[in-house]
Structure 1
Amino acid sequence: MSFPDKPIAQLLGSNGPVHAVTYSAGSGTYILTGSSDRSIRLYNPQPTTGTAGTPAKSKDHGFVTKPGTSSPSIPEGRLIQTYAEHGYEVLSLACAADNARFASSGGDRTVFLWDVTTAQTLRRFGGGHTAGVGGRVNCVCFAGEGDSLVVSGGFDTTVRVWDTRSGQGAGAKPIQSFTEARDAISALAVRGPEILAASVDGRVRTYDVRTGRMTTDVISGTAGVTSLSLTRDGRSVLVGALDSRLRLLDRENGTCLRTYTSEEKGPMWRNEELRVQSLLGGRERFVVAGDEMDINSTTEEGLQKSSKGATPDGRVWAWDLLTGRVVATVTVPWGPPGAATSSRSIGRDGREKERRNVTSCLAWQDGGWGDQFCVGGTSGVVTVFGPR
């Protein structure tokens, strides 16, 4: 299959940068987004047709050009529901296998368990004084039989396991805690009884909750680990770190099977400062990652466009899993005028400044086995890509 690089929908409505995106479980009909405006939104990415203000699909490209503009207009996905209980920015989302519940976490030191239909919280973990959660919760995921457990990790360097069947609410204590990390927990992955935790201390720790065994893989002595993505068979894991490198590791012996980075003669991919997500997609044919750098800042042509007021479009990179070769660099448009946070802002000196479209969060339909993926970032707009 070729890489699905055609923008097929945009998800609008966020009033700030989007930090988390995830598809519903299974075939992935719906998309959840979490943003700095403290809200979670549920979308159907399939654009509406035949309604006012919604561009129709063209026969050739799936989008049309609005009158008086020179750039194509991407169809708008449908907002289904908004979930608003967080007091701070939303940083992570996870959907249960039954699609009846999802979990979220963020800057308010709390993990929320939601009922999808009623838009009400079923449980809140970490908000009570007895739980002892300190700082923002960067990542959350489901675990256990029937997704009865929720695992969280964050700024206070601790991984916690919560029982969703507990009736103690915000004052509930975690049933397990792991404190070996020496810096913030940035990403989590779960497979059966194993919990993988990435940390800014440059390590990936694997906890087997049945045997009590912990193994540590040292990824980088100086660069923090920011992203984890397991292969479906669980034998390998894709690891992203703040040294502008992605690594595919053999989980049995810790060997680095392949490294993914910029090619010598081509555009530069960079991840040195921010938590930029990477994942496996296209039935594990592709390695996909966001980018800290917008297109305008990496080429002479882009710099000229930027000086003339062009929108700072972001990028998504794709590598061939087996060869490590770059197979695609996909432009992620900032968004339609007036539909998202402006690409321009006023600095402290009172002058207008152009913002970068950092593409930081990704999700691939059906856990990497579907035919589309979505990407969000600082523009506040989530763009959905599919096959041509």
Structure 2
Amino acid sequence: MPSLGRFPNRHVHTLKTHHGPVNTVTFSSYPGTYVLTGSSDRAIHLSRALPSSNSNSVAETIQPIQRYEAHGYSVLDIAVSADNARFTSVGGDRQVFLWDVEQGSTVRRWTGHLSRVEAVQFAGEGDSVVVSGSADTTINLWDTKSNSTKPIQSLTDATDTVSSLHVHAPTHSIASGSYDGKVRIYDLRMGQATVDVIAHPVTSVRCSADGHAVLVSSLDGRIRMLDRTNGKLLKAFGGDDQIERLGQQRYLNKSLRIRSVFAQGGAVVLAGSEAADIEKKQSTSQASVFAWDVLSGENIATIAAGDGVKAVSCVSWNEKGGCWASACADGTVKVYS
């Protein structure tokens, strides 16, 4: 079982490169030196994750290293290939983009979806497949080595928006979450799917490294860790009434797509949240990022996102660097170490 060290909560870097809410943030593949961020301003930015100087003050970056601009609508998700040479992005323009990192241009655009695309992942040997999930309720698999404009496979079981995907290579499976309240895990070798009913719109799915558990966020303000083989609830995080009685901040997720991840070698669950008065223009509360101990379910850290930040929609963990990043609705990305 993974060991739990002190959770990193020192704010070291703020990226102020975007001009709209940041919807997705992901570290480059090992060792995770860079972050790719996607925003409602339609741009994707590449920036250094950690500041180059080890100052005690928070470093600020206002210009990215590279801008990738081809989307005509909000960018909603990004995935990076294992060799860091390519990445794929999706958003409101119904297309799936495959980019060459160095050239800064798209090498492929697939147009098979009928509505916005919410989630994307690489799959297959050598990241030869791109998997996309859409508000048109389908999951499409695209062959990066073929010139075909049609998907090699479409999974059509969902009855509402497919909001999240996670490809787990060791078990040759794709986990998906949908607003129809169901988590579906497709075993691509067996051609079978298992379904777990959450009964609330699912906004995030993430498999544990060993593939035995799946982490599920949903719009009832809870994050559940399920046994992948039988769907049994192993642990729940958030939605704790005791916290409110103690006067502590409570994890909230009622209206937005909030992504959660495993951190610190699987010992921690990490998730952003919404502000309590997110729908009011004059918001006095702020969103936070929450960390829980996987074994005990205990909240081990609550990190405020900053004044005026109404939501942290996505967090990303870098195991090599022991650092993490949060994508904020005020257009900033904050990195903690």
**In the alignment, what sits opposite 1:20?**
24
**In the alignment, what sits opposite 1:43?**
47
Q: Please state how far the C-alpha of 1:313 moved relative to its aligned partner.
A: 4.1
- Any conservation in 1 of the 2:305–2:328 contact (CA below 8 Å)? no
2:290 to 309, 314, 317: 317
**In the alignment, what sits opposite 1:202?**
181
Q: Please state how far the C-alpha of 1:325 moved relative to its aligned partner.
A: 0.8
Q: Please state how far the C-alpha of 1:234 moved relative to its aligned partner.
A: 0.8
**In the alignment, what sits opposite 1:140?**
120
**In the alignment, what sits opposite 1:372?**
323
**Residues 1-388 of structure 1: pairs in structure 2 closer than 5 A:** 1-49=5-53, 57=55, 62-63=56-57, 74-77=58-61, 79-126=64-111, 131=112, 133-168=113-148, 172-192=149-169, 193-220=172-199, 223-263=200-240, 264=242, 265=246, 266-293=248-275, 313-334=286-307, 356-366=309-319, 370-386=321-337
Q: What are the superposed Cα offsets for residues 87-129 of structure 1, whole Å, 9 maximum, x if unpaired?
A: 1000000000000000000000000000000101011112xxx
- Any conservation in 1 of the 2:50–2:335 contact (CA below 8 Å)? no
CA distance in 1, matches of 2:187, 2:49: 37
Which letter does structure 2 place at the counterpart of 1:175? I
Structure 1 residue runs of 4 or more that deviate by more than 6 Å after TM superposition:
none
CA distance in 2, matches of 1:383, 1:376: 7
What are structure 1's unaligned runs of at least 5 residues?
50-55, 64-73, 299-305, 335-342, 344-355
Which letter does structure 2 place at the counterpart of 1:95? V
What are structure 2's unaligned runs of at least 5 residues?
none
Larger radius of gyration: 1
Q: Please state how far the C-alpha of 1:314 moved relative to its aligned partner.
A: 2.7
What CA RMSD, in Å, does the superposition of the two structures yield over aligned residues?
1.9
- Any conservation in 1 of the 2:275–2:286 contact (CA below 8 Å)? no
Which letter does structure 1 place at the counterpart of 2:10? K
**In the alignment, what sits opposite 1:69?**
none
Q: Please state how far the C-alpha of 1:233 moved relative to its aligned partner.
A: 0.7
Question: How many equivalent residue pairs?
Answer: 323
SS of 1:283's partner is helix
- Any conservation in 1 of the 2:274–2:286 contact (CA below 8 Å)? no
Q: Please state how far the C-alpha of 1:326 moved relative to its aligned partner.
A: 0.8
Q: What are the superposed Cα offsets for residues 210-243 of structure 1, whole Å, 9 maximum, x if unpaired?
A: 22111111122xx101001211111111110111
- Any conservation in 2 of the 1:30–1:45 contact (CA below 8 Å)? yes
- Any conservation in 1 of the 2:175–2:206 contact (CA below 8 Å)? no
Q: Please state how far the C-alpha of 1:370 moved relative to its aligned partner.
A: 4.0
Q: Please state how far the C-alpha of 1:262 moved relative to its aligned partner.
A: 4.1
Q: Please state how far the C-alpha of 1:47 moved relative to its aligned partner.
A: 2.1
Q: What are the superposed Cα offsets for residues 186-224 of structure 1, whole Å, 9 maximum, x if unpaired?
A: 00011132111110011011112222111111122xx10
| Farther-moved stretch of structure 1 (79-88 vs 264-273) | 264-273
CA distance in 2, matches of 1:230, 1:197: 10
CA distance in 1, matches of 2:6, 2:98: 37
CA distance in 1, matches of 2:52, 2:212: 41
- Any conservation in 2 of the 1:10–1:45 contact (CA below 8 Å)? no
Q: Please state how far the C-alpha of 1:166 moved relative to its aligned partner.
A: 1.4
SS of 2:331's partner is coil
| Farther-moved stretch of structure 1 (280-289 vs 152-161) | 280-289
TM-score norm. by structure 1 comes to 0.80
Q: What are the superposed Cα offsets for residues 280-327 of structure 1, whole Å, 9 maximum, x if unpaired?
A: 111111111111116xx59xxxxxxx98x97x6431011111000111
Which letter does structure 1 place at the counterpart of 2:312? T
